[in-house]
Structure 1
Amino acid sequence: MLMRNTIFSSLLFSLLLIAIPSRAEDPFNLPLLNDGTSSIVSLESEYRLGRNWARILRGQAPMLEDPITYQYLEDLLWRLLPHSQVQDRRLELFLLANPSFNAFAVPGGVIGVHGGLILAAESEGELASVIAHELAHLSQRHFAQRLEEERRNRPLMLAGILAGILVAAADTEGGVAVMSSTMGASAQNQLAFSRRNEQEADRVGMQTLVSANFDPHTMPQMFSRLQRNYQFYGQRPPEFLLTHPVTESRIADSLNRASQLPDVREKSNSTEFSLIKARMDVQFAKSPVASLEHFRNSLSRNTSAYSRYGLMLAAIANQDFELAEQTRAQMPVELRQHPYVEYSRIEGLLQQENYTKALELTRQLLALYPDSRPVRSLNARVLRSNEQLSASLREYKSLARDYPNDTQIWFQLAETEGLAGNTLGVHEARIEYFMLTAQIDLALKQITYARRGKGLTASDIARLDQREQEARALRQEMKEQF
Structure 2
Amino acid sequence: MQTLLVAATCFSTALLPATGTASTDLPVLNDASSATVSLDAEYRLGRNWARILRAQAPLLDDPISYQYLEDLLWRLLPKSQVQDRRLELFLLDNPTFNAFAVPGGIIGIHSGLLLAAETEGELASVIAHELAHLSQRHYAQRLEEERRNRPLMLAGLLASILVAAADTQGGMAVLSSTMGANAQGQLAFSRRNEQEADRVGMQTLVEAGIDPHTMPQMFSRLQRNYRFYGQRPPEFLLTHPVTESRIADSLNRASQLPEVQSHADNSDFNLIRARMQVHHSESPQKALATFRAATQDSDQLHNRYGLMLAAIAAADFALADKTWNTLDASARRHPWLLLSRVERFLAAADSASALEISRELIALYPDSRPVRTLHARALRETGQLQQAIRIYKQLTRDYPTDTLIWFELAEAEGLAGNILAVHEARIEYFLLTAQFDLALKQLEYAAREKDLTDSDRARLEQREQEAKALRQEMKEQF
Assess same fold via TM > 0.5: yes
In the TM superposition, residue 357 of structure 1 has moved relative to its aligned partner by 1.4
- 8 Å CA contact 2:125–2:205 kept in 1: the answer is yes
Q: Report what 2:251 is aligned to.
A: 255
Q: Report what 2:467 is aligned to.
A: 471
Does 2:399 correspond to 1:400? no
Q: Report what 2:442 is aligned to.
A: 446
In the TM superposition, residue 303 of structure 1 has moved relative to its aligned partner by 1.4
Aligned pairs for 1:288-327 within 5 A? 288-327=284-323
Q: SS in structure 1 opposite 2:108?
A: strand
In the TM superposition, residue 234 of structure 1 has moved relative to its aligned partner by 2.7
Q: Report what 2:60 is aligned to.
A: 64
Q: SS in structure 1 opposite 2:90?
A: strand
In the TM superposition, residue 477 of structure 1 has moved relative to its aligned partner by 1.2
Distance 2:94 2:234 in 1: 20
Q: Report what 1:144 is aligned to.
A: 140
Give the AA of the match of 1:459: S
Aligned pairs for 1:148-187 within 5 A? 148=144, 185-186=181-182
Shift in alpha-carbon separation, 1:348–1:435, aligned structure 2, 3 A: same
Listed one character per residue, the Cα deviations across residues 362-420 of structure 1 (whole Å, up to 9, x for unaligned) are 11011110000010011110101010111111111111111100000000011111111
In the TM superposition, residue 32 of structure 1 has moved relative to its aligned partner by 2.0
* Mean CA deviation greater in 171-180 or 188-197: 171-180
Q: 2:110 aligns with which of 108, 111, 114?
A: 114
Distance 2:17 2:395 in 1: 42
- 8 Å CA contact 1:101–1:226 kept in 2: the answer is no
Listed one character per residue, the Cα deviations across residues 306-335 of structure 1 (whole Å, up to 9, x for unaligned) are 111111111111111111111111112111
Q: Report what 1:98 is aligned to.
A: 94
Q: Report what 2:71 is aligned to.
A: 75
* Mean CA deviation greater in 170-179 or 114-123: 170-179
Distance 2:223 2:347 in 1: 41
Q: 2:458 aligns with which of 458, 462, 475?
A: 462
Listed one character per residue, the Cα deviations across residues 81-131 of structure 1 (whole Å, up to 9, x for unaligned) are 010000111000000111111100001100010111111111110000000
In the TM superposition, residue 138 of structure 1 has moved relative to its aligned partner by 0.2
Aligned pairs for 1:309-388 within 5 A? 309-388=305-384
Q: Report what 2:213 is aligned to.
A: 217
Q: How many equivalent residue pairs?
A: 464
Distance 2:96 2:432 in 1: 25
Distance 1:299 1:54 in 2: 40
Distance 1:282 1:445 in 2: 39
Q: SS in structure 1 opposite 2:299?
A: coil
In the TM superposition, residue 17 of structure 1 has moved relative to its aligned partner by 10
Shift in alpha-carbon separation, 1:233–1:410, aligned structure 2, 3 A: same
- 8 Å CA contact 1:49–1:481 kept in 2: the answer is yes
Q: Report what 1:203 is aligned to.
A: 199
* Mean CA deviation greater in 239-248 or 431-440: 239-248
Q: Report what 1:88 is aligned to.
A: 84
Identity %: 71
Distance 1:177 1:350 in 2: 40
Distance 2:185 2:426 in 1: 44
**Alignment gaps of 5+ in structure 1:** 1-8, 23-29
Distance 1:427 1:83 in 2: 42
In the TM superposition, residue 148 of structure 1 has moved relative to its aligned partner by 3.8
- 8 Å CA contact 2:96–2:168 kept in 1: the answer is no
Listed one character per residue, the Cα deviations across residues 267-307 of structure 1 (whole Å, up to 9, x for unaligned) are 44332111101101101111101101111111111111111
- 8 Å CA contact 1:98–1:114 kept in 2: the answer is yes
* Mean CA deviation greater in 154-163 or 246-255: 154-163
> What TM-score results when the alignment is normalised by the length of structure 1?
0.89
Does 2:279 correspond to 1:283? yes
Q: Report what 2:23 is aligned to.
A: none
Q: Report what 1:4 is aligned to.
A: none
In the TM superposition, residue 211 of structure 1 has moved relative to its aligned partner by 0.6
Does 2:128 correspond to 1:132? yes
Q: Report what 1:26 is aligned to.
A: none
Distance 2:167 2:231 in 1: 23
Shift in alpha-carbon separation, 1:96–1:192, aligned structure 2, 3 A: same
Shift in alpha-carbon separation, 1:159–1:224, aligned structure 2, 3 A: closer
- 8 Å CA contact 1:19–1:190 kept in 2: the answer is no
- 8 Å CA contact 1:355–1:386 kept in 2: the answer is yes
Give the AA of the match of 1:120: A
Listed one character per residue, the Cα deviations across residues 197-230 of structure 1 (whole Å, up to 9, x for unaligned) are 1110000000000110001110001001111222
- 8 Å CA contact 1:18–1:191 kept in 2: the answer is no
Q: SS in structure 2 opposite 1:242?
A: helix
Distance 2:171 2:146 in 1: 24
Q: SS in structure 1 opposite 2:101?
A: strand
Distance 1:179 1:120 in 2: 21
Distance 1:201 1:166 in 2: 22
Give the AA of the match of 2:285: V
- 8 Å CA contact 1:19–1:183 kept in 2: the answer is no
Does 2:247 correspond to 1:234? no
- 8 Å CA contact 1:160–1:178 kept in 2: the answer is yes
Listed one character per residue, the Cα deviations across residues 136-178 of structure 1 (whole Å, up to 9, x for unaligned) are 0000011222334655999866776788799999987677666
In the TM superposition, residue 249 of structure 1 has moved relative to its aligned partner by 0.4
> What TM-score results when the alignment is normalised by the length of structure 2?
0.89
